[in-house]
Amino acid sequence: MSYVGPDFDPPQPRRPRRGPLTVALAALVPGALLGWLVYDTVGGSGGGGGSDGATVRAATSAASSGAATPSSAAPSDDAKQPGSPSPTPTLAHPTSSAPVASGPLRGKVVVIDPGHNPGNFQHTAEINRKVNIGTNWKECDTTGTSTNAGYTEAQFTLDVSHRLKALLERQGATVKLTHDNGSPSWGPCVDGRARIGNDAHADAAISIHADGSAAGNRGFHVILPGAVHSGAADTRPIVARSASLGERVAGNFVRVTGEPASNYIGDGTGLVTRKDLGGLNLSTVPKVFIECGNMRDSKDAALLTSGAWRQKAAQGISEGIVSFLRSS
């Protein structure tokens, strides 16, 4: 905003000497005007008018407060390789917020599934219970993995999910989480996580994870649903749309974060198709998983424990989802 005030007024003819009251009032006017201008510039004009870059900077400033405090729990070493028990997000009491009044994603619904739950390790009997994922029976959920220093996957996934939720809501989307901040206290089970996205009629759903592979294995990969038609599972209607979502997420994730595609799975494409994950098998809406990096590799762990990098991860995922939704 341009400033027009006493300092920029043209010179005026000399006037008769003013009385004390007139002088006092004249001294107050510039200060009041300046105060109004500061208010108008900093906060008085309302939100929603900034550029995308300004929005991202604001989100980064608000959310990038460093790595979360490591949990004292000892999570299991879940490498989550194809063929081994692999945790899938669940859901019980989804959390959501109303979309902003306008934005390119107004009317769109996104479900974010933070992998695992920080409380899972206290409920091993519950999460070890088997549930039907269509192709077979698998554990309700797992505790997830962690860095060697103890920063857990469940902490990581919640943090990235919160950042992602904020970015998408700023563009007008309605965003739901499958669980949040200890509610429910464990899980939900993988079938429940899928059901949350289905019941929300989500336009896109994504499950946030980090891997627990061997040191030296690094990079991200996005998991796409394979064509499954067995029992309660039928992914055939969502396979193509999910592939489009996954490709856009992968492309934007590598561009924004600089994290390379996995060097140990996916043949360098950053894309993997699986048929053994209940969160994908039971989904009736376009859905993918993303393993943002390997928590057991020192280079990846340094990124995953950085608040600034987690903001980049959320931004890359967000841009992939936005690209997918705008192409719909």
**CATH value at residue 108:** 3.40.630.40
Residue 52 covered by a domain:
no
How many folded domains does the chain comprise?
Answer: 1
> Between the CA of residue 328 and those of 89, 312, 316, what are the distances in Å?
25, 25, 19
Residue 276 covered by a domain:
yes
For residue 263, what pLDDT is reported?
98
Q: Which of 153, 169, 259, 291 is catalytic?
A: 291
For residue 97, what pLDDT is reported?
52
Residue 19 covered by a domain:
no
Residue 84 covered by a domain:
yes
What are the residue ranges of helices labelled H in the chain? Answer: 20-39, 52-63, 124-128, 153-169, 190-199, 239-257, 278-281, 298-304, 307-326
Q: Is the pTM of this model over 0.95?
A: no
Residue 1 covered by a domain:
no
Cα(6)–Cα(244) distance, integer angstroms: 58
- Write down the residue that tokens 């053994």 correspond to: 276
Cis, peptide link before residue 13, omega less than 30° from 0: no
Residue type for position 128: N
Is 291 designated active site?
yes
For residue 95, what pLDDT is reported?
55
Neighbouring residues of 64: CB distance < 8 A, sequence distance ≥ 6: 307, 308, 310, 311
Cα(225)–Cα(272) distance, integer angstroms: 9
Cα(151)–Cα(181) distance, integer angstroms: 16
Count the Cβ atoms, other than its own, within 10 Å of residue 5.
12
Question: 261 lies in which domain range?
Answer: 75-326
Residue 247 covered by a domain:
yes
The burial class, CB within 10 Å (0-12 / 13-18 / 19+), for 117 is: buried
pLDDT tens-place values along the chain, 328 residues long: 322 232 223 333 344 444 443 333 344 334 433 343 333 333 333 333 333 333 333 333 333 333 333 333 333 333 343 333 333 333 334 455 544 457 899 999 999 999 999 999 999 999 999 999 999 999 999 999 999 999 999 999 999 999 999 999 999 999 999 999 999 999 999 999 999 999 999 999 999 999 999 999 999 999 999 999 999 999 999 999 999 999 999 999 999 999 999 999 999 999 999 999 999 999 999 999 999 999 999 999 999 999 999 999 999 999 999 999 999 7
Residue 18 covered by a domain:
no
Residue 126 covered by a domain:
yes
